[in-house]
Structure 1
Amino acid sequence: MVKIAPSILSADFCRLGEDIQKVSSADWLHVDVMDGMFVPNISIGVPVVKSIRAHTDMFLDVHLMVEKPGRYIRAFADAGADLLSVHLEADMPPALHAALDEMETLGVKRGVVLRPITAAEAVIPYLERGLDLVLVMTVEPGFGGQSFMADQLPKLAAIRSYIEKYSPGCLLEVDGGVNAETAKLCRQAGADVLVAGSAVYGAKDIPAAIAALRGDARG
């Protein structure tokens, strides 16, 4: 069954611990790290991830929207990230491969991320070397609450086929504009993990919203 990873970008940061508990029926917790350079927004960093780790045993899916992410791999691993995802657009391939190798050395699961402008084929060299996750952005990264870009669905399906060919154990994750309706499209395209922010935290009944994203209810 598909995994659901609520994004704390849509949580109330004054009540973050409480808001993490509200999504305890989900599978993962998605943490967006933004540096104000790779994307035009600044969010959180290592100290917050460390605090979250002390508060929950949920799987921490940390999405690094930062320039030259290799500089921060050890710090986020030490803070308690279970999985780190780096953008293919954030550095040159040798540096990204080095960052992924460091994750493996540190025992952190390895992910790469593609912005909407990046072609599906760009992920193949990374899959050939082994990955735990590929994240496809279905909005431009940087801000929550954006509308789902349906033109990314063929990319999802293409990457699903590449995963089956090159790295069958790799998971396919989707982030951006995911709600009960678009989640169904993502599942049909082969997604294994769905990131959702406002669709979860904006819901009156959060467990029901999570179930709908999985397809257990109206989804």
Structure 2
Amino acid sequence: MSEPLRIPTPLLAPSILSADFARLADGLKVMEAGEPCVVHVDVMDGHFVPNITIGMPVVAALRKETKLTLDCHLMIENPGRYALEFIQAGADWVSVHLEADPHIHRTLSAIRGAGAKAGVVLNPGTPVEGLVDLVGDFDFVLLMSVNPGFGGQSFIPRILDKVARLDTLRRERNIPFMIQVDGGVGMGNARELVQAGADVLVAGNAVFKAPDPVKAIAELQAKMSAR
């Protein structure tokens, strides 16, 4: 029996970038309070994107505080140089930008070889067709629905078309992989994204800037499950 092309239940991945950095453990507790979440960790180096966030020591600290899946999104130059270090620090999923890595096949293979799920990230202006020759070499694709670097930006609507095109590619090749979307995700577009083919939604401000983050997670998950 072949593996299904999509995971049975879509996953919410709250971005720890939007939590209170002085109380990251509390942010993890919010994610653990209801249905399981994936912890999305935005790693920025100030070169590939115009911001600096966190690195391996914080990932290691998060690993000690939770058993939830740690999803590290590397918005950095030379991601192949550091990907395995993030896995050693505790990352379960590691995604690297197609635009940042000229040897991305080698990097994806190394991530998988180290026991983590390997992801490819596409910026809003990068077409999904650039992945054609990599299908089968990654476990998920992360589509940026804002320009990477800062949280709180507005969703770019045409990313819905990219989700649908990527879902078509998955079906044409009959090879399973997850489709993840990051940027401007909230109550107003969560259901539409999942219906278009998304499997994992990253939400930052929609969770951690809400009056009740636990309730916000439950409401987002309800929107997503109505696919």
**TM tier relative to shorter chain:** over 0.9
Note if 1:8 corresponds to 2:16: yes
Distance in 1 of aligned mates of 2:192 and 2:146 = 15
Counterpart for residue 50 of structure 1: 60
Counterpart for residue 5 of structure 2: none
Counterpart for residue 199 of structure 1: 206
Counterpart for residue 131 of structure 1: 138
Report the count of equivalent residues.
216
Amino acid aligned to 1:8: I
Note if 1:115 corresponds to 2:149: no
Cα deviations by residue, 1:129-152 (Å, 9 ceiling, x for unpaired):
332110000000000000000011
Distance in 2 of aligned mates of 1:131 and 1:167 = 14
Question: Normalized against structure 2, the TM-score is what?
Answer: 0.91
Distance in 2 of aligned mates of 1:165 and 1:84 = 25
Distance in 1 of aligned mates of 2:132 and 2:207 = 32
SS in 1 for 2:70: strand
Counterpart for residue 156 of structure 2: 149
SS in 2 for 1:180: coil
Q: Percent identity?
A: 48
Counterpart for residue 67 of structure 1: 77
Could you tell which deviates more after superposition, 43-52 or 201-210? 201-210
Note if 1:38 corresponds to 2:16: no
Distance in 1 of aligned mates of 2:58 and 2:134 = 29
1:131/1:165 Cα in 2 relative to 1: closer, same or farther (>3 Å)?
Answer: farther
- Match for residue 185 of structure 2 among 178, 182, 201: 178
Cα offset for 1:68? Answer: 1.3
Distance in 2 of aligned mates of 1:160 and 1:150 = 17
Conserved 8 A contact 2:20-2:27: yes
SS in 2 for 1:85: strand
Distance in 1 of aligned mates of 2:55 and 2:178 = 25
Amino acid aligned to 2:77: E
Cα deviations by residue, 1:109-139 (Å, 9 ceiling, x for unpaired):
1100000000110122111x33211000000
Counterpart for residue 99 of structure 1: 107
Distance in 1 of aligned mates of 2:41 and 2:49 = 15
- Match for residue 76 of structure 1 among 86, 107, 112: 86
Could you tell which deviates more after superposition, 3-12 or 179-188? 179-188
CA RMSD of aligned residues (A): 1.6
SS in 2 for 1:17: helix
Where structure 2 has 5 or more consecutive residues not aligned to the other structure, the ranges are: 1-8
Amino acid aligned to 2:60: K
Distance in 2 of aligned mates of 1:122 and 1:76 = 25
Amino acid aligned to 1:196: A
Question: Normalized against structure 1, the TM-score is what?
Answer: 0.94
Distance in 1 of aligned mates of 2:170 and 2:52 = 32
